[in-house]
A and B are shown apart, each in its own frame.
Chain A
């Protein structure tokens, strides 16, 4: 039987009517493409191309088979335009993807423009999440740019009527091999309408020879951000635009019983929109809209909701697929000389993107344009399609570079609300969520309960039974060699709306795994680093641990009163993490001081060292919040700390001495880095506190009242 890949290749060859001059399979026709883009040379990639296929794996739905993944256009002015459905939320992928393209074309990144996350202009993309942009989109763009380079060389040979010679490219020019002449890329593209599908076989630049990729190129358009001229969605306006606000229930689960909008409607310029439970107002400024909203008299029918104090028992009680432990594992556990059975509790936390959700909607007849900050513009397009029963072609969703997401902006609430209001009031509407709305009506990182029962026999891991209730299955498998092991994720009934988050469940699972390993090492009077290395078979992880331990000075640490050292390691989303911490616990006040954190990270070939370091630092510091103090408090449907004065996030003063160790593996493909480095910080600190005090803290956040407890 033919493999799926072969089948798809067969289909593509039919589409390629004439080698080198073929048309893309759908979405764009060559004529329309060049009409829009101007004359030039272009190359395109379809999803079925090997690189995309490998990365997407079984995840790739077949309907995407012939879907364009990206295309690159070179204009007769020498400008390179790259189209990708990925979006920029602060990962600085606009920069790293530009570097990849610049490298293959031997140009500087100023000549490159990335058009991102625009459903009308860019190819379909399922979303910017899962640390997939770097492993998925970067190789595609690299190959596509390499193809464009080959097209330029071919064109130059034709113009110079050269046979089989090797031509050199440099800074936007192709050089003649003998007569000293040169042709600019723009000259080569002049008057052309040449479009070619990407050829897998075209070689790309060896990472060892990278000049632009792999260097610390600065953030593209950085000046626009520091001068305040970049327009995030919340900053945008269009002529005739009004400001919209939505009536929210006072509690989760409350249903609208009755509503009186009379007083609000009397305000100057205010319009009321009411469609069943959807009630909103629009006004010429946001202040008037807020006042009008406050004047609406609504009665709500509340229903009992689960409170925070009952959360963990509820998650375990509603956990699915709870089967009995296997006999082999059970008996191995029972005969082992050291046994440890622990439970770990993980609270809900909020993403708190500094730019709350925002959406701006504009109707032109039955055509809808929505600007919104989302990690899934094409997903929002589908949501709009369902809401308004429109064909997709009539809906454009556009996402300018947005004020962060961290996994918290997979949805399109504000854009959909703006579109509903705009349709009703027949004017463009902008809906900017308040911080309180963002806390109460977005979604949270899942809470969870983790139960792990593990044992050692003669100092070797013998049994391991690991259960995660609700928080998720990411990185659930311990990276250690264990004789008998079992790990299970049990989905459960979540009382609060939950969703994706930076590294998602990896943080909770690695916290439990690394705490358990630490405590088993301690029970065996073994050095936690040695104990790990004995049981680790993953060379990339072991190497990283050793390098990071050296930088931290693990072997030279001197035990002092009230000072502790801890470590943690793990792998997530293709990245390898080793984190070391030194802490001090005041024996009287029980205050924690983090003296030093050293974070090691390895994600294959590094595309931009400075931006990578920034992601690693950002992950570790953001992770401090969930490790130490972040927690969503809720009581009978009421989120009690829905403000930045009551929900604490890491600030300048929380920044410890921090060192980052990056291991550059030019021989390995690059993975994403926006998520994985968050996983090590909580367990490293937890284990350091244990080392300092003997207290085992098995909950996240660890210090909800700011102090280290006296007992475990």
Chain B
């Protein structure tokens, strides 16, 4: 898939050049979050866009990663990199185990079960005050460090976060083009047909769920170390919905779409500052309108619009 690789290289170069265009400043900080949100959106998209399985609990896995990193490094002084890797594997395994009963469910039931799971995790963050600090949060999480380089500025964090984001995106692109990707799309279209053709649908769904959760955990660790402070409010039901919105707006099944969705939803509040808390109304409306008028998301919707506009001109 030469074309895909070329596309990815273009994207990677563009990402590396962004800091020069911004020349530091406030937006730099926002772009770090675009990176973290892109990781999360890509992870959810693997599950939702490729395998067609919804999750309304992904903020929970994100939070588990953040809290594992936060607690083990801030309270117990463990090595942040080891914790990040270990947490990702452990949370992936947990997701693998609970994935079997959860992914047996379909459609609305799956949505409700994952939602319930997310809320249970959120309640645990709030109630285990001795460990997590409860609703008032967990401060004092150290910055990440390689040798003498401490990732304590927005610029350094930008390269750190985006380096990992690009790896995750490349992985997702490759996965989509692989045998597994094709099997997942088959499950998406018809699980029964996929199984008839010899795809182990049940195992594959659970595996992708576990992978998705593991990636979310890495994003969580990155979030904890760049923010140095976390509180349960960042990992609630609303954030799960925001992630879902990113994936849907960007385009189901498209890695670059996830980036677009993440970028749009992360930058938008900065420009909608005048709306204060009311931006949530806007999200709801956006979500509904996108499903109604552009169910393929921005990556498919915009080219369609352009084509239509061009067609109309050509016809006249």
Q: Is B truly associated with A?
A: no
| B positions within 8 Å CB-CB of A | none
| A positions within 8 Å CB-CB of B | none
